[in-house]
């Protein structure tokens, strides 16, 4: 029997204010959803534990406020992230479109403060659109251009896609780190 390993991963969750970052983390870690909006002040984190192949993984999801007013404090919250999730909203209104355009800014900010860490994209609020109207080729080409790990269609409200999105990230992170650990 091999000895088990313990991993601790910090995952920063970023994107425009109100795209659903807090709701996604809450949905995944606590299994519930709140329609009331409460602004995240600076940042807050949620702990989540999982066991994969006998190894214990502790995750800290850092929910980082996207509003401009937190611009100066954000860099300190990114410190030592192992991965990042960029969230945007699929709403077809101005807000949703702006959150899509801002993906590039969030990507640049992560690169600047975290370096070359894995990044995934969550396209959230999928319950507000018809999935058949979604231009997946456009999202995939953005993923390819920015060399992101993957994208996931999520709804924090209905819960659809949320476990798959988070679990895929966790499993990929785990496999990346376990291969480094066991090769040494």
Contacting residues toward ligand GDP, per CB under 6 A: 17-23, 34-35, 37, 40, 124-125, 127-128, 155-157
Element at 13 (helix H, strand E): strand 6-14
C-beta closer to ligand GDP: residue 23 or 81? 23
Question: What ranges in 21-93 are assigned the alpha helix state H?
Answer: 21-30, 74-78
41 secondary structure, DSSP code? -
Q: Which of 170, 183, 88 is nearest to 129 (CA)?
A: 88
Looking at beta carbons only, is 12 or 124 nearer to ligand GDP? 124
State the minimum distance, in angstroms, from the CB of residue 158 to ligand GDP.
7
104 vs 40: CA distance, rounded Å: 22
**SS3 assignment, position 167:** helix
CB 45 within 8 A of CB 149: no
CB of 58 to ligand GDP, least distance (A): 22
Beta bridge partners of residue 143, listed in sequence order: none
Minimal distance, residue 78 CB to ligand GDP, in Å: 16
* C-beta of 128 vs 143, nearer to ligand GDP: 128
The H or E element containing residue 121 is strand 119-124
Complex with ligand GDP: residue 39 or 79, whichever CB lies closer: 39
Closest residue to bound ligand GDP by CB: 20
Q: Which is nearer to ligand GDP, 59 or 165 (CB)?
A: 165
Q: Under DSSP, is residue 174 helix (H, G, I), strand (E, B) or coil?
A: helix
Shortest separation between residue 117's beta carbon and ligand GDP, angstroms: 20
- CB closer to ligand GDP out of 82 and 125: 125
> What is residue 160's three-state secondary structure?
coil
CB of 60 to ligand GDP, least distance (A): 16
Smallest separation (angstroms) from ligand GDP to the CB of 183: 38
């Amino acid at each position: 029997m091999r000895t088990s390993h313990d991993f601790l991963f910090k995952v920063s969750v970023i994107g425009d204010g109100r795209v659903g970052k807090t709701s996604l983390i809450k949905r995944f870690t606590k299994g519930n959803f709140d329609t009331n909006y409460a602004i995240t002040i600076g940042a807050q984190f949620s702990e989540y534990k999982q066991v994969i192949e006998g190894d214990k993984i502790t995750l800290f999801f850092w929910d980082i406020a996207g509003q401009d007013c937190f611009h100066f404090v954000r860099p300190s919250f990114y410190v030592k992230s192992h991965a990042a999730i960029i969230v945007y909203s699929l709403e077809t209104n101005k807000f949703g479109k702006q959150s899509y355009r801002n993906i590039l800014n969030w990507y640049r900010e992560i690169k600047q403060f975290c370096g070359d860490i894995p990044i995934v994209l969550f396209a959230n609020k999928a319950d507000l659109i018809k999935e058949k109207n979604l231009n997946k080729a456009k999202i995939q080409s953005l993923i390819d251009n920015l060399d992101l790990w993957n994208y996931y269609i999520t709804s924090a409200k209905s819960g659809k896609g949320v476990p798959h999105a988070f679990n895929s990230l966790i499993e990929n992170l785990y496999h990346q780190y376990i291969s480094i650990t066991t090769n040494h």
